[in-house]
Amino acid sequence: MTKAELIDRVAVESKVSKTEVAKVISGTFDAISKALKDGERVILVGFGTFVVSERNARTGRNPKTGEATLIPAAKVPKFRAGKGLKDVVSGVK
Protein backbone atom coordinates (compact mmCIF):
# COMPACT_ATOMS: atom_id res chain seq x y z
CA MET A 1 0.00 0.00 0.00
CA THR A 2 1.33 3.41 -0.93
CA LYS A 3 0.81 6.63 1.03
CA ALA A 4 -1.82 7.72 -1.51
CA GLU A 5 -3.68 4.43 -1.13
CA LEU A 6 -3.54 4.80 2.67
CA ILE A 7 -5.00 8.31 2.40
CA ASP A 8 -7.80 7.04 0.13
CA ARG A 9 -8.67 4.17 2.48
CA VAL A 10 -8.66 6.33 5.62
CA ALA A 11 -10.76 9.01 3.88
CA VAL A 12 -13.39 6.43 2.91
CA GLU A 13 -13.47 4.73 6.32
CA SER A 14 -13.56 7.99 8.32
CA LYS A 15 -15.77 9.96 5.91
CA VAL A 16 -13.29 12.86 5.95
CA SER A 17 -11.92 14.62 2.89
CA LYS A 18 -8.72 13.30 1.32
CA THR A 19 -7.10 16.72 1.81
CA GLU A 20 -7.69 16.65 5.55
CA VAL A 21 -6.59 13.02 5.86
CA ALA A 22 -3.40 13.80 3.89
CA LYS A 23 -2.58 16.64 6.30
CA VAL A 24 -3.15 14.42 9.34
CA ILE A 25 -1.12 11.51 7.97
CA SER A 26 1.75 13.79 6.91
CA GLY A 27 1.66 15.44 10.33
CA THR A 28 1.73 12.05 12.03
CA PHE A 29 4.72 10.89 9.98
CA ASP A 30 6.52 14.19 10.65
CA ALA A 31 5.88 13.93 14.40
CA ILE A 32 7.15 10.33 14.51
CA SER A 33 10.24 11.26 12.47
CA LYS A 34 11.04 14.26 14.69
CA ALA A 35 10.62 12.24 17.87
CA LEU A 36 12.97 9.53 16.57
CA LYS A 37 15.49 12.18 15.47
CA ASP A 38 15.37 13.61 19.01
CA GLY A 39 16.15 10.16 20.45
CA GLU A 40 12.64 9.42 21.71
CA ARG A 41 10.65 6.21 21.41
CA VAL A 42 7.20 6.37 19.85
CA ILE A 43 4.85 3.87 21.50
CA LEU A 44 1.43 3.28 19.94
CA VAL A 45 -0.26 0.87 22.36
CA GLY A 46 -1.72 -2.13 20.54
CA PHE A 47 0.04 -1.20 17.29
CA GLY A 48 3.78 -1.08 17.93
CA THR A 49 6.85 0.87 18.92
CA PHE A 50 9.25 2.91 16.81
CA VAL A 51 12.81 3.13 18.17
CA VAL A 52 16.23 4.23 16.96
CA SER A 53 18.97 1.62 17.09
CA GLU A 54 22.69 2.15 16.66
CA ARG A 55 24.44 -0.02 14.11
CA ASN A 56 28.19 -0.48 14.68
CA ALA A 57 30.75 0.16 11.96
CA ARG A 58 31.71 -3.00 10.13
CA THR A 59 33.71 -4.31 7.23
CA GLY A 60 31.83 -5.22 4.08
CA ARG A 61 32.85 -6.47 0.66
CA ASN A 62 32.26 -4.97 -2.74
CA PRO A 63 30.44 -7.81 -4.54
CA LYS A 64 31.92 -6.82 -7.89
CA THR A 65 35.58 -6.67 -6.90
CA GLY A 66 35.69 -8.53 -3.57
CA GLU A 67 37.52 -5.54 -2.10
CA ALA A 68 37.00 -4.92 1.63
CA THR A 69 35.33 -1.63 2.50
CA LEU A 70 34.38 0.05 5.77
CA ILE A 71 30.66 0.53 6.37
CA PRO A 72 30.35 3.40 8.87
CA ALA A 73 28.30 3.30 12.07
CA ALA A 74 24.73 4.54 11.68
CA LYS A 75 21.52 5.19 13.55
CA VAL A 76 18.63 3.26 12.02
CA PRO A 77 14.90 3.35 12.75
CA LYS A 78 13.24 0.10 13.80
CA PHE A 79 9.65 -0.94 14.35
CA ARG A 80 8.47 -3.59 16.76
CA ALA A 81 4.91 -4.76 16.22
CA GLY A 82 2.65 -4.75 19.27
CA LYS A 83 0.45 -7.62 20.39
CA GLY A 84 -2.70 -6.14 18.86
CA LEU A 85 -1.11 -5.82 15.42
CA LYS A 86 0.42 -9.29 15.65
CA ASP A 87 -2.97 -10.75 16.55
CA VAL A 88 -4.70 -9.04 13.62
CA VAL A 89 -2.04 -10.14 11.13
CA SER A 90 -2.05 -13.74 12.38
CA GLY A 91 -5.85 -13.89 12.26
CA VAL A 92 -6.39 -14.23 16.01
CA LYS A 93 -8.91 -11.35 16.13
CATH of the domain at 69: 4.10.520.10
Residue 93 has pLDDT above 70, yes or no: no
Q: Convert the pLDDT of each residue in 40-84 to its tens digit.
A: 999 999 999 999 999 999 999 999 999 999 999 999 999 999 999
CB burial readout 65-78, b (16+ within 10 A) else e: eeeeeeeeeeeeee
Separation in Å, CA 16 to CA 11, 35, 70: 5, 27, 49
**Domain shared by 28 and 68, yes or no:** no
**What is the number of alpha carbons within 13 Å of residue 32 lying toward its C-beta?**
17
Say how many domains are in the chain: 2
Task: Report pTM.
Answer: 0.80
Structural domain range at position 21: 1-39
**Domain shared by 48 and 16, yes or no:** no
pLDDT value at residue 92? 79
**Domain shared by 32 and 50, yes or no:** no
